[in-house]
Amino acid sequence: MNVAVSPTERSLSWRRMLLVALLCVLAPRAFAQASGPADQRAQAVTQVVLGILSYARWPVEPAQLRLCIVGPTQYTDDLVKGTTQATGRPVVVQRLLADHPDIVSACDAVYIGKLSADERSRLFTSLIGHPVLSISEGGDQCTVGSLFCLRVGDEQVSFEVNLDSVARSGVRIHPSVLQLSRRRAPAS
């Protein structure tokens, strides 16, 4: 991915790098059709997910952050490309099946798409007692198991926090993120 970065680009902002990379990759398409609402949402989701990851602390900090995408998702086109955090830690994104046996050891964070209730409960059961940060794309079932639930809107991508799950998971989340989500929860 870094190859795509223009040598003249001096800012190390992950957002800007992302934008440049996106532009380079999507350049042919971007000329044909200006980035549609779907693209904007995908970018916003990427920003929020990376933001949540940047405010999370694991009991043992992994050298590279492994983000697993589980199940069919709507807004991960941008996310799957992977990136590097501002601290210089690379974020490795991979797709896994919901019943993958090694999810706990292979992932530091899980991005959960549409799953059946059964798959869902099995996934969360396997995650219990492990420091894995889970983010659900759909906000419907946020009360069950997932630490964060995204609410993707046209204007903005917001999120909710399940404080019980956060407390159980062992992953520490910066209070300002919790504050941000709690304030937002009733509004959304």
Partner 1 sequence: MRTPKARPTLRSVIGRGHLILALVAVTLASVSLTLLGVLALRVYAEHNLHLIARSINYTVEAAVVFNDSAAATEALSLIASTEEVAQAEVFDASGKLLAQWVRPETGMLSQVELALAHALLEQPISQPILHQGQTVGSIHVVGHGGSLLRFLLSGLAGIVICTALSAWVALYLARRLLQGITKPLQSLAAVAHAARSERDFDRRVPPAQIAELDSLGSDFNALLGEMEAWQSHLQSENETLAHQASHDSLTGLPNRAYFEGRLIRALRSAAKVNERVAVLFLDSDRFKDINDNFGHAAGDAVLVAVAERVRAQLREDDLVARLGGDEFAVLLAPLHKAEDAQRIADKIIASMDTPIRVPGNTEVLTSLSIGIAIYPDHGATPGTLLNAADAAMYQAKRLSQGGQQTADSEPTAANVIHRS
Structure tokens at 151: 């609410």
Q: Is 25 exposed, middle or buried (0-12, 13-18, 19+ CB in 10 A)?
A: middle
Q: Is 183 in the site for partner 1 (CB under 8 A)?
A: yes
Distance CA 172, CA 188 (A): 24
Q: Is 13 in the site for partner 1 (CB under 8 A)?
A: yes
Q: Which of 1, 4, 5, 15 is in the footprint of partner 1 by CB under 8 A?
A: 15
Closest approach of Cβ 187 to partner 1, in Å? 8
> Given the rule CB under 8 A, which of 30-38, 68-76, 80-88, 110-118 is the region that contacts partner 1?
80-88
Q: Is 6 in the site for partner 1 (CB under 8 A)?
A: no
The 8-class DSSP code of residue 184 comes to H
Residue number with CB closer to partner 1 (59 or 175): 175
Residue number with CB closer to partner 1 (11 or 33): 11
Q: Residue with structure tokens 């999370």? A: 56
Q: Is 85 in the site for partner 1 (CB under 8 A)?
A: yes
Q: Is 177 in the site for partner 1 (CB under 8 A)?
A: yes
Q: Is 91 in the site for partner 1 (CB under 8 A)?
A: no
Closest approach of Cβ 85 to partner 1, in Å? 7
DSSP one-letter string for 61-128: --SSEEEEEES--SS-TTGGG-EE-TTS-EEEEEEE-TT-TTHHHH-SEEEE-S--HHHHHHHHHHHT
Please, are residues 86 and 14 in contact by the beta-carbon 8 Å criterion?
Answer: yes
Q: Which of 23, 38, 86, 128 is in the footprint of partner 1 by CB under 8 A?
A: 86
Distance CA 52, CA 61 (A): 15
Distance CA 172, CA 79 (A): 23
CA atoms within 13 A on the CB side of 39: 10
Residues 135-174 that bind partner 1 (CB under 8 A): 156, 158-159, 174
Residue number with CB closer to partner 1 (71 or 146): 146
Q: Which residues bind partner 1 (CB under 8 A)?
A: 11-16, 44, 47-48, 51, 54-55, 85-87, 156, 158-159, 174, 176-177, 179-180, 183-184
